[in-house]
């Protein structure tokens, strides 16, 4: 074998080693970036928060009990939007507990609106009725509102009187957490 062929093989082997090491370093960097991102966002919290943005997906929705449900901020009232559905297992425990505490759906000046994500109006009505909820509930059958505001059910979105998202809560929420979030709304 000639010296130039041997030199070429050595250089090719060196390039492969450099590329392999570089690839391994990049993969490690990507993994570390992902881990850091998850740690900073916290468990159960999305990485892309809507806090500070205007709610545009919900102005008027059909009511589970008929009629239409208007977004409270259109009348300059702060609101808490509670997202739930019959197909959501945690919602089966959360909704009745909230319904017992919320009554007609006001926390001071803040109006509580349920957003039911069931496709069927009869399923939505049955779930809301069986939970004992007396507060206003809208139906988001095609999840048009939910898909823009929440990553999963159950969830609560706190909206100011000007229609800006002030806070988000993903997962089951206690009445104490709900009241504390509503108290911070203006």
- Ranges of the chain whose pLDDT falls below 50: 23, 25-47
Exposed/middle/buried for residue 15 (C-beta within 10 Å: 0-12, 13-18, 19+)? exposed
**pLDDT at residue 174, rounded to an integer:** 95
Average pLDDT score, the chain:
83
**pLDDT at residue 6, rounded to an integer:** 59
- Which stretch of DSSP H or E encloses residue 68? strand 68-70
Number of CB atoms found within 10 A of residue 45's CB = 14
**pLDDT at residue 13, rounded to an integer:** 63
Predicted structure pTM score: 0.74
Exposed/middle/buried for residue 95 (C-beta within 10 Å: 0-12, 13-18, 19+)? buried
**For the chain, how far is it from start to end, CA to CA, in angstroms?**
83
Cβ pair 82, 149 in contact under 8 A? no
**pLDDT at residue 18, rounded to an integer:** 66
| 81: three-class secondary structure by DSSP | strand
Cβ pair 95, 174 in contact under 8 A? no
**pLDDT at residue 17, rounded to an integer:** 72
Could you tell me the CATH superfamily of domain 60-183? Glutaredoxin (3.40.30.10)
- Identify the sign of the CA torsion 140, 87, 129, 159: negative
């Amino acid at each position: 074998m000639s010296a130039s062929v041997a030199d070429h093989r050595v250089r090719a082997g060196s390039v492969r080693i450099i590329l392999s090491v570089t690839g391994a370093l990049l993969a490690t960097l990507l993994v570390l970036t992902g881990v850091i991102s998850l740690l900073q966002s916290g468990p159960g919290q999305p990485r892309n928060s809507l806090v500070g943005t205007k709610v545009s997906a919900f102005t008027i929705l059909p009511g589970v009990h008929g009629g239409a449900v208007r977004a409270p901020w259109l009348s300059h009232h702060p609101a808490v939007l509670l997202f739930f559905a019959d197909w959501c297992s945690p919602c089966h425990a959360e909704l009745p507990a909230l319904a017992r505490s919320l009554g007609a759906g006001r926390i001071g000046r803040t109006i509580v609106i349920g957003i039911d994500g069931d496709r069927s109006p009869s399923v939505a009505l049955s779930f809301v009725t069986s939970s004992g909820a007396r507060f206003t509930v809208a139906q988001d059958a095609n999840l048009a509102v939910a898909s823009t505001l929440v990553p999963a059910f159950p969830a609560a979105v706190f909206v100011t009187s000007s229609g800006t998202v002030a806070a988000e809560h993903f997962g089951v929420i206690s009445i104490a957490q709900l009241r504390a979030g509503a108290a911070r709304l203006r």
